[in-house]
Structure 1
């Protein structure tokens, strides 16, 4: 995600769309949706896969009716905290208001 933080594109949405393959998620492409909205959908899709790395950010929270774990844009990953998620597993549940995410330590 830090690669995307400094990426410049013609359309705001293209920053998020360029990450679909990198994170191996499926996302419907809807131009003119707005960068913040599509980035929120991207982060939610990545979290659904159980990948906690997108929770390592530092910056402004998205404004579009989202939980406080969704960053506003890829620029939030420029000065990320470098958290260690090696032994963390996400448990994701889809609810009517959105995603419910809990983190659990992986025990060996």
Structure 2
């Protein structure tokens, strides 16, 4: 759901850092990554788009759950599937609420620091 363009991980230890010399091309890659803002729209782009996409997924899941509630009778397997679907929706909504709350808190902290 969340797309990241950086997937490379570099592991190192203190002995390697003592006599560290910049490898060829790393400083250019760093400069390029720091200046690659045209593809990264910040909050307007990726993050809010992903939240909106997740909301649409939850809305679809809720409507599917509502439809299945009308059909389910006394079948335990169908009741368990419905319970699992409701649990997934609840977890997704809690995740969104916590993410939005933490983001709001971080923005408020940033604004106070200015």
Smaller-chain TM-score bracket: under 0.3
TM-score, structure 2 normalization: 0.22
Q: Larger Cα Rg: Structure 1 or Structure 2?
A: 2
